[in-house]
A = this chain, B = another copy of it.
Amino acid sequence: MEKFSVTDKTAITRLPKRGAYDKETVYSVLDEALFCTLAFVHEAHPFQIPTGFVRMNNKLYIHGSVGSFYMRELRDKKLPVCISASLMDGLVLARSAFHHSVNYRSVVLFSEPKLVTEEKELYDALEAFTEKICPGRWADVRKPSTNEWKETMVLSFEINEASAKIRTGPPKDDAQDYDMNVWAGVVPLKIERKPAEHDPDLKNGVSLPPYLL
């Protein structure tokens, strides 16, 4: 199992048994999460941006407008970033208020931005963005025009340092509390995709594609 090196920045010091450093775990969280938050420092102050992203190999990609202030800052100054993505899997209801918790899977990673200029990498990333939110979609849609390409900036982040933190399972109460007449357990959470809603301006006769049924 290939692992990320544990560094000062990524070592899980609080509840270390929840930490994981293997690439498989880190990648699986990144691949399931629909957005990440990207933090950087600007004039000594912390900033963060929630944004869509995709992982390919050991890189994470974000895209934005070439006119976006923060995309330009990241590109021009190669600002160090901290990126995180989290999945909430359940509410953990213990017998004591103190031991209430959530089941979650989160990743925190450190990197710096690199402008993607190589055409194949750029194309693959744009395809991956679309396929991540809706597998099967790319083949269906109009591909980016030359102008659209020029308006889009894609930045890559090599995953240099990363760790995952995961909690699973039932609540853990103090031994003497297990005898209380209080229900305890987990309420699982799941992001559901609801039935697709047609664009009001959908062309007559166009029906839902098989990958959305």
Residues of A at the B interface (CB closer than 8 Å) are: 9, 13-14, 34-35, 37, 39-41, 44-50, 52, 64-65, 67-69, 80-82, 84, 86, 88, 91, 93-98, 100, 102, 104, 106, 108, 110, 126-127, 129-130, 133-134, 137-138, 140-145, 148, 152, 170-171, 177-203, 205-209, 212
Q: Are B170 and A183 in contact (CB under 8 A)?
A: no
Q: Identify which of A48, A126, A181, A199 gathers the most chain B CB atoms within 10 Å of its CB.
A: A199
Q: Are B189 and A202 in contact (CB under 8 A)?
A: no
A137 to B67, CA, bound (A): 48
Name A101's closest neighbour in chain B (CB-CB): B52
A13 to B68, CA, bound (A): 8
Q: Are B188 and A206 in contact (CB under 8 A)?
A: no
A133 to B103, CA, bound (A): 12
Q: How near does chain B come to A147, taking the closest CB pair, in angstroms?
A: 9
Q: Are A182 and B140 in contact (CB under 8 A)?
A: yes
Q: Are A39 and B50 in contact (CB under 8 A)?
A: no
Q: How near does chain B come to A166, taking the closest CB pair, in angstroms?
A: 12
- A39-B46, A142-B96, A192-B192 in contact; A183/B202 too (CB < 8 A)? yes
Question: What would 17 more interface pairs be, CB under 8 Å, given A14-B65, A91-B193, A183-B212?
Answer: A35-B104, A39-B82, A40-B46, A45-B80, A48-B82, A49-B84, A50-B104, A96-B144, A98-B152, A140-B183, A183-B196, A183-B198, A183-B207, A183-B209, A185-B196, A187-B196, A192-B192
Q: How near does chain B come to A74, taking the closest CB pair, in angstroms?
A: 11
A192 to B98, CA, bound (A): 25
Which one of B9, B47, B50, B142 contacts A106 once the chains associate, using CB atoms below 8 Å? B50
- A47-B39, A47-B82 in contact; A67/B197 too (CB < 8 A)? no
A2 to B133, CA, bound (A): 36
